[in-house]
Amino acid sequence: MNRTYSPVTQVVAIGVGAALFFVLGRFAAIPTPIPNTSLNIQYAILAVFAVLYGPLVGALAGFIGHLLIDVTGYGIWISWELASGVFGLVVGVLLLKHAITDGEFGKATGLRVNLAILLANAVAWLLIAPLGDVLIHSEPASKVWAQGTLAFIANSVTACVLGTIILSVYARTRTRTGSLSHDQ
């Protein structure tokens, strides 16, 4: 089942996850017609880190990575940075028990991964980000819910497709529990 990682491993995973999130978000984002909203692939990587290293790594890598994107671009926008952290947290919590690291990735696991990603995106982009924009930044509700809806749809599609592919391929690189036998 799920492995427990040392604090050092978790700190390294947070750093690598945040760095990958930043690089992909800053340099591989595809702009959309809705202002300050883009098609992103970094949420697939964040989902993978949350699944493999747990909810704390997912939350901090998402928050720190998004903070770095905003600091080097738009300026700090705490509601969206928190939403990225919540995405990583929710995916990590919902997939605490899995056998992907043991080489198992069947249809049921793929379905669980996709449902976790959809729920995490819904909480992040249809609740946290728009409500935060309205309550913290006094943004117009229609604008932020349009942005949140696009972010939910785009991030769900990219994270489900790419995240499932990456986790499936990763599982195939792992030795299945009980698959090795001792010859006598």
Show the tokens assigned to 41. 């692939």
Q: What is the pLDDT of residues 11-43, one digit of tens each?
A: 999 999 999 999 999 999 888 888 878 889 999
Q: Exposed/middle/buried for 142, CB within 10 Å: 0-12, 13-18, 19+?
A: exposed
Does residue 53 sit in helix, strand or coil?
helix
Does residue 35 sit in helix, strand or coil?
coil
175 pLDDT higher than 80: no
Q: Which helix (H) or strand (E) holds 99?
A: none
The number of residues in the chain equals 184
Distance CA 78, CA 59 (A): 14
Q: What is the pLDDT of residues 96-147, one digit of tens each?
A: 988 898 889 999 999 999 999 999 999 999 999 999 999 999 999 999 999 9
Considering the domain 7-173 in this protein, what is its CATH number? 1.10.1760.20
- So where are the chain's domains? 7-173
What confidence score (pLDDT) does residue 34 get?
82
* CA dist list (Å): 122 to 50, 105, 115, 172: 17, 24, 10, 29
